[in-house]
Structures are given as structure tokens and as C-alpha cells.
Amino acid sequence: MDDDEQYCGGTISLYCRTDYFHCESTCIPN
């Protein structure tokens, strides 16, 4: 678990980078 990766707004199994733009594209918004 690197600091560069964090959960995307909610309980999600997938991890995304701190870049929210890339995050919302990869994860489902809460």
C-alpha cells in the first residue's frame, strides 16, 4: 500500500492513483 495509491471515494476493491481524474475513470464513484 503505497501513499501514491488510495481508495476511490468509497469501499472499492480496486486501487487508484492519487490522480482523481484517473481515479474516477478506473473506479466507481461512491
Determine the pLDDT at residue 22: 54
For residue 20, count other CB atoms closer than 10 A to its CB: 14
Determine the pLDDT at residue 17: 54
Concatenated DSSP letters of 1-30? --TTEE--SSS-SS-EES-HHHHHHHS---
Determine the pLDDT at residue 30: 47
> How many Å apart are CA 22 and CA 28, to the nearest integer?
11
Determine the pLDDT at residue 3: 46
Determine the pLDDT at residue 13: 47
**pLDDT digits 0-9 by tens, 1-30:** 454 455 555 554 455 555 555 555 555 554
What values do phi and psi take at 8, rounded to 5? -95, 85
